[in-house]
């Protein structure tokens, strides 16, 4: 596991370094200088932040700009500390003190590197990823500043094991993880940027835009993984056998996820479901497609609830797509009137009521009404009418037509019957 690592040699180096730096008067003085600069910098930073933070909150600026401003304000602490450390160090290194300030100069370089790195990573929106990149980059810079980078990489490369001609070291693993992390984030960032650009292309349909964006995202992520692994010097052919076994296990474990991924692509290819379509599921869920993601499709209902439906369900179950093909949709209202009523008059009244019930009801095709049944206590009719904007709701249109029909029947003294039941009590005496 450990190759060419002499523990005694490292121990002697540590003891020698501590003896040369830690157990000396100059190091003590530099420690006092650093502590003084740190305490004064913290006090000045808190005074300044209390006055600047309210000003940032009062700015009429986008949220992202305010976030960047607040992050930059936090850099006042290392900036003030660096300034104080520089001034005190310059004074201490001149006559008559003549203190060796090598360690203080290293601390100043480390603080300056931290400030530059934190400014450079402000374009990263996610705070966790931003902090990770900053910490890793600063750690490498700090090791390089103090001259420990070469020794550290050599030690990590010595922590390795070999299987035949294959050698895997801790350095290769760390490089692979860092490279994968950086490339994956860059791939996701680039795919998101490309997706926004694709959605602005008006010549493409919405389903084509989503499909192209998904394909680009998958390709970029796959290339990021391949480049990240191979750039660390790991031969992918060595993992052929292990990769096959792992891939088989992952395939079984992620069977539903892969099924939903390819189901979503099939839906976009055959354009049976597209963003903006109005759907009705078997369980009665009614709404329009707001977003088609890799694993699920988001449906927004009329009461503003978001249902995340797995893509596989749109392939294996029945779905009513009200927007598929022609957007013209026919709705139906059933009602009954008393046998004393003239069915010809009822039919005309119903058709006129539906036509005038709401502006969303189409004039062509015009509403129609049919006598469908001689019921037990009523003449039963079906009133049919058409709309083109089901995404605006269908229940509200049925309700509007029924109210208009009620008013028309009442104005013409046409009764809507209801069942009458009589109970007879027989005297058994």
Residue 423 lies in a domain: no
- pTM here is 0.47
Q: How many structural domains are present in the chain? A: 4
Q: 384 falls in which pLDDT band (50, 70, 90)?
A: very high
Residue 263 lies in a domain: no
Residue 425 lies in a domain: no
With a cut of 60, say whether residue 399 has pLDDT above it.
yes
Percent of the chain with pLDDT over 90: 13
One-character DSSP codes across 166-233: EEEEHHHHHHHHHHHHHHHHHHHHHHHHHHHHHHT-TTS-HHHHHHHHHHHHHHHHHHHHHHHHHHTT
Please, are residues 381 and 350 in contact by the beta-carbon 8 Å criterion? Answer: yes
Exposed/middle/buried for residue 360 (C-beta within 10 Å: 0-12, 13-18, 19+) = middle
What angle, 0 to 180 degrees and rounded to 10, lies between the N-to-C axes of helices 102-120 and 76-93?
160
Q: What is the pLDDT of residues 330-365, one digit of tens each?
A: 899 999 999 999 999 999 999 999 998 888 898 888
Q: Do both 337 and 356 map to the same domain? A: yes
Buried b (16+ CB within 10 A) or exposed e, 407-417: ebbeeeebeeb
- Domain end, chosen from 321, 348, 363, is at 321
Q: Do both 12 and 148 map to the same domain? A: yes
Q: Do both 347 and 290 map to the same domain? A: no
Q: What is the domain-level CATH number for residue 344? A: 3.30.70.100
pLDDT at 164: 61
Q: What is the pLDDT of residues 286-312, one digit of tens each?
A: 888 888 877 788 888 877 888 888 888
Residue 142 lies in a domain: yes
Q: Do both 93 and 151 map to the same domain? A: yes
pLDDT at 53: 75
pLDDT at 1: 47
Q: What is the pLDDT of residues 245-265, one digit of tens each?
A: 555 555 555 677 777 777 877
Residue 1 lies in a domain: no
- Domain end, chosen from 135, 158, 181, is at 158
Percent of the chain with pLDDT over 70: 81
Residue 225 lies in a domain: yes
> Which range has highest mean pLDDT (56-60, 189-193, 323-327)?
189-193
Q: Do both 228 and 205 map to the same domain? A: yes
Residue 110 lies in a domain: yes
One-character DSSP codes across 329-351: EEEEEEEEE-TTS-HHHHHHHHH
How far, in whole angstroms, is CA 346 from its chain's centroid?
55
How far, in whole angstroms, is CA 31 from its chain's centroid?
46
More confident residue, 386 or 327: 386
Q: What is the domain-level CATH number for residue 317? A: 2.30.30.60
Domain that holds residue 181: 166-253
Q: Do both 149 and 181 map to the same domain? A: no
Output the six-digit token pair for 61. Answer: 């600026």
Q: Do both 154 and 178 map to the same domain? A: no
Q: Do both 79 and 182 map to the same domain? A: no
Residue 72 lies in a domain: yes
Q: Do both 102 and 216 map to the same domain? A: no
Q: Do both 172 and 66 map to the same domain? A: no
Q: Do both 300 and 371 map to the same domain? A: no
Q: Do both 221 and 308 map to the same domain? A: no
Q: What is the pLDDT of residues 73-113, one digit of tens each?
A: 888 888 888 888 888 888 877 777 677 777 777 888 888 88
Determine the Cα–Cα distance for residues 304 and 183; give it in Å rounded to an integer. 37
Q: What is the mean pLDDT of the chain?
A: 78
């Amino acid at each position: 596991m450990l190759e060419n690592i002499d523990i005694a040699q490292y121990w002697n180096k540590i003891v020698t370094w501590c003896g040369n730096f830690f157990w000396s008067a100059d190091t003590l003085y530099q420690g006092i200088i650093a502590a003084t600069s740190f305490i004064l910098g913290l006090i000045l930073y808190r005074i300044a932040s209390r006055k600047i933070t309210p000003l940032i909150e009062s700015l009429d600026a986008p949220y992202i700009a305010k976030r960047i401003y607040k992050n930059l304000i936090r850099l006042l602490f290392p900036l003030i500390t660096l300034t104080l450390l520089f001034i005190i160090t310059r004074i201490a290194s001149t006559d008559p003190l003549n203190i060796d300030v090598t360690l203080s100069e290293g601390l100043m370089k480390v603080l300056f590197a931290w400030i530059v790195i934190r400014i450079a990573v402000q374009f990263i929106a996610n705070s966790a990823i931003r902090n990770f990149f900053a910490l890793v980059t600063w750690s490498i810079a700090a090791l390089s500043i103090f001259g420990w980078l070469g020794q550290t990489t050599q030690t990590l490369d010595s922590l390795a094991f070999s299987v035949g001609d294959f050698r895997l070291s801790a350095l290769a693993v760390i490089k692979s993880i860092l490279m994968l992390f950086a490339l994956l984030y860059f791939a996701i960032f680039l795919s998101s940027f490309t997706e926004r650009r694709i959605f602005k292309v008006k010549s493409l349909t919405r389903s084509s835009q989503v499909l192209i964006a998904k394909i680009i995202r998958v390709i970029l992520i796959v290339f990021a993984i391949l480049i990240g692994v191979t750039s660390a010097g790991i031969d992918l052919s060595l993992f052929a056998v292990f990769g096959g076994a792992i891939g088989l296990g992952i395939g079984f474990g992620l069977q539903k996820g892969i099924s939903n991924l390819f189901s979503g692509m099939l839906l976009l290819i055959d354009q049976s479901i597209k963003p903006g379509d109005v759907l009705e599921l078997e369980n009665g869920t009614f709404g329009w497609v707001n977003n088609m993601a890799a694993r699920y499709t988001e449906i927004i209902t009329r009461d503003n609830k978001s249902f995340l439906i797995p893509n596989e369900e749109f392939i294996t179950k029945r779905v009513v797509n009200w927007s598929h093909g022609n957007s013209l949709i026919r709705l139906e209202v059933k009602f009954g009137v008393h046998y004393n009523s003239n069915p010809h008059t009822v039919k005309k009244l119903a058709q006129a009521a539906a036509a005038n019930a709401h502006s969303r009801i189409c004039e062509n095709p015009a509403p129609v009404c049919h006598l469908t049944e001689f019921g037990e206590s009523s003449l039963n009719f079906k009133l049919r009418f058409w709309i083109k904007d089901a995404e605006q709701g269908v229940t509200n249109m049925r309700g509007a037509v029924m109210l208009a029909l009620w008013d028309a029947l009442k104005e013409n003294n046409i009764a809507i019957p209801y069942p009458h039941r009589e109970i007879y009590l027989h005297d058994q005496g």
